[in-house]
Amino acid sequence: MNEATAKVEKAIDMLKGSGVRITPQRHAILEYLVDSDSHPTADEIYKALEHKFPNMSVATVYNNLRVFKKTGLVKELTYGDSSSRFDFSSKQHYHIICTRCGKIVDFHYPSLDEVEALAAQVTGFVVDHHRLEIYGVCPECQKKEAQQNK
């Protein structure tokens, strides 16, 4: 069993444990999120799966994402005024976001977990999470800009 399949199976077990029925659409959406590293929008998920499920609507995708979000399997990423993107969240990670095309890429930096402990110690807060976003221009947009400036 590969890592993606194991993640999907673990997520399905978690959903079943929460009393969520596993429909073929739900399974396909979950699988798409696990396989995707592009942090897709609901529309992108719908377009990718509509050929498999011609009766599925965008509303079905949104409703399933809401269920996944409620159970903690998926995070909704809202940056700026563009559409929400969805991230299958298996471990703590951060995002770097292209200011040109909106592409979001994951990166891991375990040392930042110490920030929570320090913030709690200094402020007396009980810290439950943190979020870090870094912005820049992705390699693809850099290439496009370089070609346009020739």
46 lies in the same domain as 118: no
Q: What is the pLDDT of residue 144?
A: 93
For residue 44, give Cα distances in angstroms to 34, 41, 149. 14, 5, 31
55 lies in the same domain as 102: no
54 lies in the same domain as 116: no
What is the number of structural domains in the chain? 2
Per-residue pLDDT of the chain (150 residues; tens, 9 = 90+): 678 788 888 888 888 888 889 999 999 999 999 888 788 999 999 999 999 999 999 999 999 999 999 988 898 888 666 678 898 876 778 888 899 888 888 888 877 778 888 999 999 999 988 888 899 999 999 999 999 988
Domain holding 126, by residue range, is 91-150
Q: What is the pLDDT of residue 94?
A: 86
8 lies in the same domain as 47: yes
118 lies in the same domain as 54: no
96 lies in the same domain as 22: no
24 lies in the same domain as 97: no
Query: Structure pTM?
Result: 0.73
Q: What is the pLDDT of residue 119?
A: 92
112 lies in the same domain as 69: no
Q: Are 17 and 82 in contact (CB under 8 A)?
A: no
116 lies in the same domain as 77: no
How many Å apart are CA 53 and CA 112, to the nearest integer? Answer: 41
9 lies in the same domain as 77: yes
95 lies in the same domain as 83: no
What CATH code is carried by the domain that includes residue 125?
Answer: 3.30.1490.190
Q: Are 10 and 69 in contact (CB under 8 A)?
A: no
3-state helix, strand, coil in the chain (%, to 5): 50, 15, 40
* Nearest alpha carbon to residue 92 among 122, 68, 113: 113
Q: What is the pLDDT of residue 124?
A: 96
* Nearest alpha carbon to residue 138 among 107, 93, 92, 112: 107
4 lies in the same domain as 34: yes
For residue 21, give Cα distances in angstroms to 25, 44, 67. 11, 24, 11
One-letter amino acid at 99 equals: T
- Gyration radius of the chain over CA positions: 18
